Amino acid sequence: MDQTRKMWASAAIVGVIVVGGASIAAAASAGRLDQVARDTRAVVEKASPSSQPSERPAPETTDGIVVSKEVNPDPNEVIDYWTDQRMEDAQPMPMPGVTPGQFEIPADKLQTTE
């Protein structure tokens, strides 16, 4: 077999391996994302790129499920909003806190490090 045929055969084999690996990785990633969505009960709203922020519904919280939406679709509006004076007058958001006993974790969900 001459060198050109060997090169094309090798390229074809590498291509098949790369495509197979990419498809397996994509399938595994999609499965993992579905698993995380089931575990956390989180739903991300899918909106068309052409919709304006005013057309999108507000985030909803019902029965432990959170639906999120894009907050600042236009970065230029954010830059225009945060003037030097507004930056000086800005107050930090309060840190969330959890009181002991507020949440119960089932024993089968606890992870131990050994």
**At residue 12, what is the residue type?**
A
Which residues pair with residue 52 across a beta bridge?
none
| Full-model pTM | 0.28
pLDDT at 114: 61
- Of 61, 90, 58, whose CA–CA distance to 71 is shortest? 58
What total of structural domains would you count in the chain? 1
Give the residue numbers spanning the domain of 7: 3-87
Asked, for residue 99, whether it belongs to a domain, the answer is no
Asked, for residue 79, whether it belongs to a domain, the answer is yes
60 in Cβ contact with 67 (< 8 Å): yes
Asked, for residue 56, whether it belongs to a domain, the answer is yes
* Beta-strand pair 60-62/65-68: antiparallel
CA atoms 103, 106, 108, 112: torsion sign: positive
Asked, for residue 83, whether it belongs to a domain, the answer is yes
Asked, for residue 93, whether it belongs to a domain, the answer is no
- Over its length of 114 residues, how does the chain's per-residue pLDDT go in tens digits? 678 888 898 999 999 999 888 877 877 776 666 666 666 665 555 555 554 444 445 555 556 666 676 676 788 888 888 899 999 999 998 888 888 887 787 878 777 776
Asked, for residue 50, whether it belongs to a domain, the answer is yes
Asked, for residue 45, whether it belongs to a domain, the answer is yes
Asked, for residue 95, whether it belongs to a domain, the answer is no
